Structure 1
């Protein structure tokens, strides 16, 4: 996972591996740290190779934390693994 500045308001957060129970806590902490600094985040989902319910919870937590902090959280470029889970659960991020 990498992070890069993409403008004053939103920073880019990139997943580049699985988002599962094995990696969820680490990814959660890094993603929430982005929101703690007071800027929004654009979350690039294109590199997620596997997504389970623990990973989905991380994404939903980030969305909800953005709402709580009044910060934009955008999810972009869902990988096939992410698209499959979203279709199965009928969720929109």
Structure 2
């Protein structure tokens, strides 16, 4: 079972996106919509990847898209946490720099 939480109430800042379970080709379309809603609620969005227990290249593409969209919109994208699965996938695909704060756990990423 896969779920996500989206924190985007009008008066609530920063917005947040926290996928849970799979971030794979089977779930990425739904996750994309939720992520775009979180970015719409900017100007600061927290991305919490700590509850992701499976990720594939489609999930990694979504993270790349999130970083690019945030930069284009002038939104600060902060990663609040990364599961070991996400860290391993980023390292395997040589994308660790995509979410520098995953490696540092606790830092704030750049736009």
Cα distance between partner residues in 1 of 2:18 and 2:44 = 14
Q: What's the TM-score, normalizing by structure 1?
A: 0.88
Partner residue of 1:4 out of 3, 7, 23? 7
User: Alpha carbon RMSD of aligned pairs, Å?
Assistant: 1.7
Unaligned runs of 5+ in 1: none
Query: Relative contact order: is structure 1 or structure 2 higher (C-alpha 8 Å, sep ≥ 6)?
Result: 1
Give the 5 Å matches for 1:67-86: 67-86=71-90
8 Å CA contact 1:40–1:66 kept in 2: the answer is no
Secondary structure of the equivalent of 2:51? coil
Partner residue of 1:54 out of 37, 58, 61? 58
8 Å CA contact 2:14–2:44 kept in 1: the answer is yes
- Find runs of 4+ consecutive structure 1 residues off by over 3 angstroms: none
Q: What's the TM-score, normalizing by structure 2?
A: 0.74
The alignment of Structure 1 onto Structure 2 pairs a total of residues equal to: 92
Unaligned runs of 5+ in 2: 100-111
Distance change >3 Å, CA 39–CA 60, structure 1 → 2: same
Q: Which has the higher strand share?
A: 2
Cα distance between partner residues in 2 of 1:38 and 1:84 = 28
